[in-house]
Each structure stands twice: as structure tokens, then as C-alpha cells.
Structure 1
Amino acid sequence: MPYTTEHKQKTRERIVECARELFNRRGFAEVSIDEIMQRAGLTRGGFYNHFKAKEELFAEAIAAYQNFNPAQRWKEFAFDNSDCGAMHARQLVNAYLSDAHLEDVEGHCPMIALPSDAARAGPRVKQAYQDLLERMAGLLAEGMSLPDGADRRQRGLALAALCVGGMVLARTIDDSAFGDEVRCAARAMALELIGPGEH
């Protein structure tokens, strides 16, 4: 009996999530299709029912993070997705620069886990990476308290750069106290950019 469309979609999502976690842990080049499929509980042959090549899967693994909900992975965070104001932007910044995110290597955002891999990849991966950055910047910009005429997009991109840069540096620094200091500085500046009050 053939598999249902729903079953195929769930299988594809499982492959994507397993790949994303392995890519985060070891990088694109160091992870094989066999490892991804084994982690997903499937055979290698099944891979080609869903993807033409590993790089196609890589692009989808990056794109899938657009739907990431920190509250589903890190229990200390609760989000009200109906709120697009300053409180929501602050929650996003705090979750992104949190200890939970730093320590959860498999749960890392691809922008901090895979920048070098994405830079070496093809156009589809680079587009997925750019789309993820634009989504993050847009979500953060929505919650900013800005004076009339302020460039919301520019500030959103700056805010995203602070968050991503703070985490990239923190995860590459051996001195954990210094890494914490970097994250705290990035968080303080990001929250200042968001400003007080509600959107």
C-alpha cells in the first residue's frame, strides 16, 4: 500500500530535522547522507524519494528554522506569537542570546552554526540563509519603538547582526566568562535598539 501524502511529508520533515541537527554539530561536509538517514531511522535509498542532493537538503534545513519556536525546545521561554510588539522582540533577543541557545548545539540557529558552510554553498543555500536573516530582522524590527522617519529595516538588520554576531563570538571563545560578557553586551545593545513601550 503506498504511503499517504501526510506520511511522506512527516518523513521529509524528520529527515530535515535530523540533518539540521547533524549539520549544526559537525558541519555540512562532515555529515554523510547515510548518517542523516540512519538518524532518521530510514535507509539511504529513501533519501532520493525526497531530495535530489545533499545540498538541497541543506537549503531546506536552513529554511526550516524560520518556523523554529524556542518555547518548544527550551522550556524556560514562553512566547505569545500574536504579539508583535516590544515585549515579543525582547523575548526573541533574550532567547537568541540565552544560555539555553548557546548550550544546545543541535538547536542552534543556522546563522550561528553554519555561516562558513553557507558561504561556500550554492545559490539555493545562500538564498535560504538570506531569507532566514531577513525573517529574523523583520520580526525584530516589528517590535521596535522608533521615531518618525526611522529606517525600520536598517535597525532590524542591525539588531539581527548584534544577536547573530554575539552568539557566533560566544561559541568560538574558550573563556566562558568572556563569552558571557560578549553575549551580555550584545543583549544590552539589542534591547536598547528595541526601545521602551509597545509597537
Structure 2
Amino acid sequence: MPYAPEHKARTRSRIVESARRLFNRHGFEQVSIDQVMAEAGLTRGGFYHHFKSKDELYAEAVASYAARNPFAVKSAKAGERVADPRRLARTLVEMYLSDTVFDDVDQHCPLYALSTDVSRAGPEPQQAYTELIRGMTHVYRCALQGSRNADRRAKALVSLCVGGMVLARTTDDPHLRKSLRASARLEALALLEG
């Protein structure tokens, strides 16, 4: 007897979530389909009922961050929609560069967690990654609407947030990790206000 469509969608979602966590921890090349399926509590044979390739799964795992990131999850739990674009942008900066997000590797944004992997990946993962960049830029551009050089400043905000996290992840010095993110946060907030 075939599974209901809802079952297939839930199973696919479990696979994507497992892949996203494993890719964040280990990178694309180091994670096998067998590992993803085991993490999801499934067998390898079921993989091809949901995905054509590991690249397709990778692209979906990257894209899934838009709805599953700590910022979106917190907003959904609070049940409030932030109407003020500046407040939304400020909250995003503060959360993105926070200790809580930094310490939770499973929730790391692909923009800083997978940048090297995606640069070597195929077109599907790169397109998903590009959409995340555009989405984050859009949040900042909306906050800066009507300001001089809004597009350039929005892209600088994305660069500060992502760059601050990339650099913080590369060092074993806890003080430097914290100060890199704090500096990026201060500059980003100043750009939003200026």
C-alpha cells in the first residue's frame, strides 16, 4: 500500500533537516548519503524516492535555512510579525552575530557555514545560496529604503554579518571570536542608523 502524500513530505523534510545539520557540522564532501539517511532514521534505498542526487539534496538543505533559521523560528514562536523594517533588520543583526547562534552549530547559516563548499558546488546549491544572500539583502534594503546608497549599504550589512561569523569560526581564541562578532555588530548597527 503506497504512503500518503503527507508521509512522503514529512520524510523528505526529515532527510533535508538531517542533511542540513550534517553539512553544517562536516561540509558537503565529508557527508555521505548513507550518513544523511541514518541520521534521519531511514535506509539509503529511500533516498532516491525523494532526491535525484546529493547535489539536489544539498541545494534543498541550503534553501531550507530561509524558513528554519533561528530568526524565523523565534519570530514564528513569538507569533508576532515585526512591521517596522528597521526593527526587523536590527533584530536580525543582533541575532545573527549572537553567542546563542554562534554556539549552535546545527543552526549555522549556510552563508558562513558552507561558503567554501557552495563555491565548489554545482548550479543548484549555488542558486539556493544566492537566494539566501538576496533574501538577507532585501531585509536590510527595506530597512534602509529612502536612505542614500541603500543597496550598497544593505550589501555591506550582509558582508559584515556573514564576514564576522566566518572569521569568528576560524579562530581558536574565544576572546577574538567574541570581539570580531561584537565589532561587526556595532558597525552593522551603525550602518542601519546612519
Aligned match of 2:174 in 160, 173, 176? 176
Aligned with residue 167 of structure 1, among 157, 165, 168:
165
Q: How large is the RMSD of aligned CA atoms in angstroms?
A: 2.0
Matched AA of 1:183 = R
Alignment of 1:95-134 (within 5 A): 95-134=95-134
| Residue 71 to residue 124, structure 1, CA distance change in 2 (3 Å) | closer
Does the C-alpha gap of structure 1 residues 104 and 34 become closer, same or farther in structure 2, counting only changes over 3 Å?
same
Listed one character per residue, the Cα deviations across residues 90-120 of structure 1 (whole Å, up to 9, x for unaligned) are 1100110000111111110011111110001
Give unpaired runs (5+ residues) of structure 2.
none
In the comparison of the two structures, how many residue pairs are matched?
A: 193
- Equivalent residues of 1:145, 1:194 under 8 A apart: no
Measured against aligned partners, the alpha-carbon deviations of 1:155-189 in whole angstroms (never above 9, x if no partner) come to 21110110000000001111110111110110001
Are residue 153 (structure 1) and residue 125 (structure 2) matched? Answer: no
Q: Is the 8 A contact 1:79 1:91 kept in 2?
A: no
Q: Could you say if the C-alpha distance between residues 158 and 4 of structure 1 is closer, same or farther in structure 2, counting changes exceeding 3 Å?
A: same
Tell me if structure 2 keeps the 8 A contact 1:80–1:88. Answer: no
Q: TM-score, normalised by structure 2?
A: 0.92
For 2:164 and 2:81, the matched residues in 1 are separated by: 24
Partners of 2:13 and 2:87 in 1: CA distance: 31
Query: Identity across aligned pairs (percent)?
Result: 49
Q: Calculate the TM-score normalised by the size of structure 1.
A: 0.90
Question: What's the counterpart of residue 83 of structure 2?
Answer: 83
| Aligned counterparts of 2:20 and 2:129: Cα–Cα separation in 1 | 13
Note the residue ranges of structure 1 that are not aligned, 5 or more in a row. Answer: none
Any residues of structure 2 matched to 1:1-199 within 5 Å, and which? 1-70=1-70, 80-144=80-144, 146-147=146-147, 150-195=148-193
Residue type of the partner of 1:23?
F
Q: Which amino acid aligns with 2:66?
A: Q
2:19 and 2:61 in contact (8 A); partners too: yes
